[in-house]
Amino acid sequence: MTDTEELRRRTQELLAQHPPASTDRLDFLRARFDAGLAWVHYPEGLGGLGAPRSLQGVVNAELEAAGAPDNDPRRIGIGLGMAAPTILAYGTEEQKRRYLRPLWTGEEVWCQLFSEPGAGSDLAALGTRAVREGDEWIVNGQKVWTSSAHVARWAILIARTAPDVPKHQGITYFVCDMTDPGVEVRPLRQITGEAEFNEVFLADVRIPDTRRLGEAGDGWRVAQTTLMNERVSIGGMAVPREGGMIGPVARTWRERPGLRTHDLHQRLLRLWVEAEVTRFTGERLRQQLVAGQPGYEGSGMKLAFARLNQEISGLEVELRGEEGLLYDDWTMRRPELVDFTGRDAGYRYLRSKGNSIEGGTSEVLLNIVAERVLGLPAEPRTDKDVAWKDLAR
């Protein structure tokens, strides 16, 4: 087992062989991956060393102190937080070696083709079809709310391959090349004026069977790994004290005492405490990841993240008064990622409305927490054993 001193030695060896000041950024990231210092808990040869996940901080601290570049994790969050754990768990050795390195270095951006116009909260009701033809699958359908599809090379895709069985059983999981013929990406303009996500149309897209993850028909089980990791990556991100949405509000409060009232003060104190509690809970959740796959607690974290962001951004608008309604950039932009803290208060207020939808609606997550975490009786589901083709749509 690799220990702390061994990791420090390997990190210093990397820095000596590839000095950050004189090494091309991409070359350095590739060398870091090949040295097993990308994600130390991954297997050797796949960017890791098979070390405990908790030791990643040792490597990160050494590299940060040396001024080494990172892989811009916010830009490639879907790849890092959703695609990579799924590929590691269900991919073939060939798939792991093909996809993980350029995913981690940021050379290839990933997106997620899950939700559909008629299958969002009830994802298992999806209707995108994949029909086997020799060594290929022919895919037709529509996906929606697809963040980063306009800049992505690859997508994780679930499609229906068996309509004659209950909906959870007839799904298969694929890797889709977003540059293939038949893949069309259209922007979806949001309430903020931006189009950070998209709708994607798939017309006779041919996917080789070698890009299937897991067994045919077992896609729902594979997708659960993606979804649990997604909720942790959204709600359980590491942030410093007064990081995230609470930071701008606290700064405004300190810098502009003329805006203060007793009621606003009490609300700010409550939300500041809740933000700290959520931050520490997220740290505990990340520590649990050291032992293996994330559990359903990530759904609770994502719930708290959405509610807090919406309450905090609402308080910020109210605190600023008329100024809080200003939002000076309504241009049709196509950003690669969401920036909550570097924009106007009006933008934060509008964009946070999506937090209770993306990554699983709050209503669905409440059911997950109730059933999987608290052990409460499940809601009646009359369609559980009905073949998908017989469901009302």
- List residues bridging with 207 in a β-sheet: 137
User: Which residue among the candidates 116, 194, 230, 297 is catalytic per the annotation?
Assistant: 230
- State the Cα–Cα distance between residues 79 and 19, nearest whole angstrom: 27
Q: Name the residue with tokens 């040792």.
A: 58
Torsion sign over Cα 37, 38, 42, 47: negative
Q: Give the CA radius of gyration of the chain.
A: 22
Count other C-beta atoms under 10 Å from residue 273's C-beta: 11
Measured in degrees and rounded to the nearest 5, phi and psi for residue 266 equal: -65, -40
Give the residues across from 119 on adjacent strands: 116
The closest of 224, 232, 235, 236 to 114, measured between CA atoms, is: 224
Active-site residue flag, 230:
yes
Beta carbons of 119 and 138 less than 8 angstroms apart: no
Taking the C-alpha atoms of residue 103 and residue 66, their distance in angstroms, rounded to an integer, is 24
List, by residue number, the catalytic residues: 230
